[in-house]
Amino acid sequence: MKPPELLSVNLAVTDLGAAVSMYPLSVASSWYHSWLGGDVTCIYYGWMGFFFGVASVATLTVMAIVRFTASTTLQSHTDKISKKAVQVMLTGTWLYALLWAMFPLIGWGAYGPEPFGLSCTLAWAEMKEHSPSFVISMFAMNLVIPAIIIVCCYLGIILRLHYFYKSLQNGNIIQNKVKMQRRLMLIAILISAGFIGCWTPYGIVSLWSIYSTSPVTPLVSMLPCLFAKTSTVYNPLIYYTFSKSFKQEVNQYLQECRCSNTNNLPENTIYMVGEGTTVKEELQMEHLFPKNRD
């Protein structure tokens, strides 16, 4: 597996981890119109959300740095960053996320319910009195600075690709490599822009809850929260839309699933084929063709 593929897998793990560990509890609470489980599950939910959120933005930051470094090797057949180096950086992203998620548990920050009462996150109202430094540090280290790094890296990649493409005189292999880098860069930019776009409203409302004298209404707090949770959805959609290899793998997997379901059908299944579609209709053959009896 190549270094860029490791980054994509790590990003998928953060999305899947958030969806599996958080969303079932949130859906169940929404069904019962109140939070389930009390303080323990609230802290668990808030911890998981913060942990996977920080891991995701750290992964996107590392991805931008790796892409920027790889853009300097368009004329080289070797990778600028080794697989081992990427593995070390990804390990660092998880340790970084773990560190930030542990801070509220040891007293710097806190976890608590959202104003609308159906999910939990960082307790902004409580931190307004006791830990405003945590909010400022968290906002700077996990949103502002990563966003600046991501934007600068991709702007640098765009400029490098532009000047390198203009300097090309011949060489189809190098041109194909440039096109591949442009496609990969487009995917990474869309993912990063989606993450920043989803989490910026949430960060703004969080700062508002700290520095504004008026309380945040449940509706105002709910919309950025729902918007932020879509960050686990758009990454697969972006990859499916713009990555040919990913789309082929998904289509092949779906085809294998359909074939597997077909093979598991009983032997007395009749296949009726119409124009453009295949209809599978199982009939009780015994009623139509009774067995011969002695």
Question: Which tens digit of pLDDT belongs to each residue from 10-49?
Answer: 988 998 898 898 888 888 888 888 888 788 999 999 999 9
The pLDDT confidence band at residue 106, using thresholds 50, 70 and 90, is very high
Could you identify the residue written with the tokens 């307004």?
Answer: 128
How many other CB atoms sit within 10 Å of the CB of residue 2? 10
Identify the burial level of 135 via C-beta atoms within 10 angstroms of its C-beta, where 0-12 means exposed, 13-18 middle and 19 or more buried. Answer: buried
According to DSSP, the β-strands at 269-273 and 278-282 are: antiparallel
Reply yes or no on whether the pLDDT at 128 is more than 50: yes
How high is the pLDDT of residue 274? Answer: 43
Query: CB count, 10 Å around CB of 206?
Result: 21
- CA–chain centroid gap for 194, Å, is 9
Please state, rounded to an integer, the average pLDDT across all residues of the chain.
76
CA dihedral 263→267→270→273, nearest 10 degrees, is 30
State which fold the 3-242 domain adopts.
Rhopdopsin 7-helix transmembrane proteins (1.20.1070)
**Where do the structural domains in the chain lie, given as residue ranges?**
3-242, 256-288
- What mean pLDDT do residues 63-74 have? 79
Considering the chain, what percentage of its residues have pLDDT values greater than 70?
A: 76
List C-alpha distances in Å: 105 to 35, 61, 82, 122, 203: 20, 26, 36, 11, 21
Distance (Å) of CA 245 to CA 87, 173, 292:
23, 19, 54
Distance from the first to the final alpha carbon of the chain: 64
Six token digits for residue 140: 């700077």
CB 194, CB 238: distance < 8 Å: yes
CB atoms within 10 A of CB 180: 11
